Structure 1
Amino acid sequence: MDPTCAEVTVGSRTGRAVLAAAILGSSLALLDSTVVNVALHRIGEDLDASLEQLQWVSNGYLLSLASLTLLGGSLGDRFGRRRIFMVGVVGFALTSVACGLAPTAPVLILARIAQGVSAALLVPGSLAMIQGTFAPADRSRAIGTWSGLGGVATAVGPFLGGWLVQAVSWRWVFLINLPVAVVTLVVARRVPETRDPAAVPGFDSIGAVLGALGLGGITYALIQWTAEPGVAAASLGVGLVSGVAFVINERRRPHPMLPPALFASRQFSAANAMTLLTYAALGGVLFFLVLQLQTVAGLGPLEAGLATLPITVMMLLLAGRGGALAGRIGPRLPMTVGPLLCAVGTLLLSRVDEDLHYWTDVAVPLTVFGLGLAALVAPLTAAVLAAAPDHHAGVASGVNNAVARAGSLLAVAALPLMVGLTGADYQRPEVFDAGYRSAMLWCAALLVGGGLLSWLLIRNPDSDRPTWVIEGTAGD
């Protein structure tokens, strides 16, 4: 099917299959970027891991996901979005088994890196299937449904992870992916194939390697700076040089993995810059909060997961309505107010300590945080895709997903260094508590920056152009 002549509607049987496959597949990857946070404390105890190793359990996944998402989107555009999506789902299932059976921390880290590679194939494909399959009139509504329910999947991660860790084992945080992957593959068989008709054979392997080296070098340097300063400095140099080489390579190649022309759109560039700041803060908040609740407040994994339930509730009830409102007034205001509300919630979360009062210290702040998240998620996704041509749907989706994961990746790598945490500090309440408070302030600052950036650079569609409308998502 040529994506330029897509005619599938949301209410059709095929449309429901496309949405179901896309939501299930992306939820696999999104859940595993958050659900593991609740399990980190138990993983550390069971595998005798250091804080640096726990960072890599989280960041190994985010690193390969962020580094290769662009490649995954490009491969989908060229070789078939459904095909690459299904390959990613199969790989994700197999690597989830490897994670669940890992006997040591280093083995778990390697399995998580491999899991991120698979996620890099399925995440951009999920959204590109929607963009390439649905008729233009139904496309924004479908994106809104995908965005709202995908946001719920992200938010439900800590709750699900906490229950699995406490009721069974941290290993089931990974093994639970198997049945979901099987259902996703069954549904995906009913999805029509789409690709970019102008795509050329082959792919930008040099760009993929340079992108991975750039992010990997910088991440390794941030995590190991205290333990191995000499090696970390060399790694930082490799990362920076590779990053510069990546930009040069993409500008010179006739068919780059990341078309520089996409960034000629100020809307596209601004939305991705806002994504970087906002998701860096989101990754930092979730990483530190669930450890603070267990290490300092003394909660178990299930209690820590349940504590984050207000985010899930807000996303479930309001993500669709937030998207519908943004469809009427444009993306600028929601993308400004949303991060600012998240910043307020983050500042309130900084009060969490050993003398925990759940409703005032956690429930209210996370409700405010979830309200902001519900306001910004759907408008952000739609603004990014609306700023890119349809035939680059996979790449545009890949860029935005890569930026989001890179933001979380760099935040989880940098924040412990910035607030003075290392080694086994996650098991020392008095030390971790002080670092947690500083980390929350940094996250709030990132969110304020994201809100200001949106206000200054994001623009609503011109009145003489068709506006994108997001409706019919979860909670409507």
Structure 2
Amino acid sequence: MPTAPTRSSARDLPVILGPALAFTVTVVDPLVLSLNLSEVSHALHVPPNLVGLLTGAATLVVAAAVLAAGNLADAFGLKRLLMSGLAVVCVANLLSMLAPGYGFLLAMRFLDGLGLTCLLGVSLALLKVSVTPEKRPAALGVFMAIEMLLCGVTPAFAGWLVQAAGWRSMFLIAPLLCVLSLWLTARYVPRPPAQERRRLDVAAVVLVGLALLSLVVGMAAAQNGVTRPQTWVPLLISLTAAVAFVLHERRAPEPAVDLALFRVPAFSVALAAALALNFLGTGFSFSLGQFGAAVLSLPPQAIGLLFLPGTGLVAGSVILAGHLMGRYTPRPVMVTGLLVLTASALVMAGTAGPTMALWLLLLATWLCNLGVTITSTSVSETVLAHAPQGRSGTVASMQSASCMTGAALGPTVYVLLLNFFFHREWLADAATRGLSVPRATQAVDAVRSQLAVSPPGTAVYDPNLLRQAAGLDLGLDFSNGLRLTMLIVSLLPLLLAVAAHFLMPGPSSVRRSAG
């Protein structure tokens, strides 16, 4: 008979809070810079061609080194590497406050990326070995709730801080979180038992890093055209490196990744869900920015505030999800989270338009946040449950690699779908109004020539220009294109929910195996 689920006690809270704050830094650190990039670019006279690199530098380092960090954590200690990463992020941000120019700040962003790499995945792995398996589902719920609350509040706080004290002050936020996480981790998180050090599979970590790095670069370039060498060459390198990695791991005496894990249906579904939730989350954020600015004429501050309402409710729901995973299994929680993501996309597919009510936009945003967070909680529990002893860091880094892949794919695929359907809609609009294709094309090109480019490689339509295209209602055309895009992408979480229901073990199978 399975044991009764054990709730996370108050004594476990400091143990959870230390790694949770470290994990939150990986989200908050790049987010704060992105939201305040205009002030930084203006103050340091950043060249336009380096703006995207400045915001994406840390992400590129994480993509290149995520598996290496997981392997090193298993070899040299999860707690030791996490605390080292916190120290590096703290120092990099404090030095960024003193940046005399954009070159120095760019170097600090690369250094910051090394620290973030040590935090991403390792924080989850440290949580796994710090709490008992019975308490882990509930602990993950609290872990994700802390991250959700801080990510909901921090952007607004950062905006207020920058307005009051200048852009340099925003680099104090990550160090404050790092210092608190360092103290909690050092004082309350037990040091995992020493493991036999394995030889680092250098070839494997290099191939994975090359595959992820090339994927991020290629997908960013794809937004400007999929046939350009800047797009297909990195993507070809990424595919080649991925194939070479699999072939190498099959022959390696001590592989960095146990490929046998991918033959476990629950593990494979969880990694697919990790990719999907980041794909959908980043794609939704991109579409929300485009639609809010272009069609609804919302300022960036108002679009950012759409993520704030309901944050507490999402956090409470995630804590409940953690307890439900402990009582049952991750399967119903994952299915529910994926269905909520489907509902978010369908709300946008059914209601997006120039006169869309703000409460509907809030509802779609809240459902997306809720679905992403709930799904992420169940994914983490499933992945960590399959981590062999002494390999928690490596297995958790595989989840991080899936998340990086989804985050790279999301904005690019959304913009490709959106451009395709938008093109189809304004052509139909022109035909209905009796406008010739050359005249309509000239009008749309006039709008596109005034695109305001934002990091990295995304484009935001000027809402005033949308109303100046000769005779065309581009606001409605853009909305219809977005609705079709959302309808298409809603199939992904729905199909994954079906796969999770049939391929992941349910409570009855767990009871049978326990018996």
Please provide the CA RMSD for this pair.
3.6
For residue 195 of structure 2, what is the aligned residue in structure 1? Answer: 197
- Verify the 8 A CA contact 1:297 1:352 in the aligned structure 2: no
Deviation at 1:130, TM superposition (A): 1.8
For residue 78 of structure 2, what is the aligned residue in structure 1? Answer: 81
Matches within 5 A, 1:50-449: 56-97=53-94, 111-190=108-187, 191-194=189-192, 197-200=195-198, 202-225=199-222, 226=224, 229-290=228-289, 292-293=291-292, 297-349=296-348, 357-360=357-360, 362-416=361-415, 419-420=418-419, 424=453, 425-426=459-460, 428-429=462-463, 430=465, 438=481, 442=485, 445-449=488-492
> Partner letter of residue 463 of structure 1?
S
For residue 474 of structure 1, what is the aligned residue in structure 2? Answer: none
Deviation at 1:96, TM superposition (A): 2.6
Deviation at 1:281, TM superposition (A): 0.9
1:451 counterpart = 2:449: no
Query: Which deviations, in whole Å up to 9, do the C-alpha atoms of 1:433-456 show, x marking residues without a partner?
Result: 777875675466445313322322
Unaligned runs of 5+ in 1: 1-7, 468-476
Cα separation, 1, equivalents of 2:25 and 2:308: 19
Query: Which deviations, in whole Å up to 9, do the C-alpha atoms of 1:380-401 show, x marking residues without a partner?
Result: 2212222333432222221112
Give the 3 Å change call, closer, same or farther, for CA 346–392 of structure 1 in structure 2. same
Deviation at 1:89, TM superposition (A): 0.6
Deviation at 1:292, TM superposition (A): 4.8
Deviation at 1:87, TM superposition (A): 0.8
SS in 1 for 2:375: helix
For residue 17 of structure 1, what is the aligned residue in structure 2? Answer: 14
Deviation at 1:80, TM superposition (A): 0.8
Cα separation, 2, equivalents of 1:455 and 1:214: 29
Give the 3 Å change call, closer, same or farther, for CA 153–246 of structure 1 in structure 2. farther
Percent same amino acid among aligned pairs?
Answer: 25
Give the 3 Å change call, closer, same or farther, for CA 249–291 of structure 1 in structure 2. same
Cα separation, 1, equivalents of 2:133 and 2:94: 39
For residue 463 of structure 1, what is the aligned residue in structure 2? Answer: 508
> Partner letter of residue 342 of structure 2?
A
Give the 3 Å change call, closer, same or farther, for CA 51–380 of structure 1 in structure 2. farther
* TM-score calculated relative to the size of structure 2: 0.76
SS in 2 for 1:193: coil
Deviation at 1:24, TM superposition (A): 1.2
SS in 2 for 1:258: coil
Query: Which deviations, in whole Å up to 9, do the C-alpha atoms of 1:300-325 show, x marking residues without a partner?
Result: 55433322113523322211112323
Unaligned runs of 5+ in 2: 1-5, 420-447, 454-458, 467-473
Deviation at 1:179, TM superposition (A): 1.6
Give the 3 Å change call, closer, same or farther, for CA 230–463 of structure 1 in structure 2. closer
* TM-score calculated relative to the size of structure 1: 0.82
Give the 3 Å change call, closer, same or farther, for CA 438–237 of structure 1 in structure 2. same
> Partner letter of residue 197 of structure 1?
Q
Give the 3 Å change call, closer, same or farther, for CA 195–255 of structure 1 in structure 2. farther
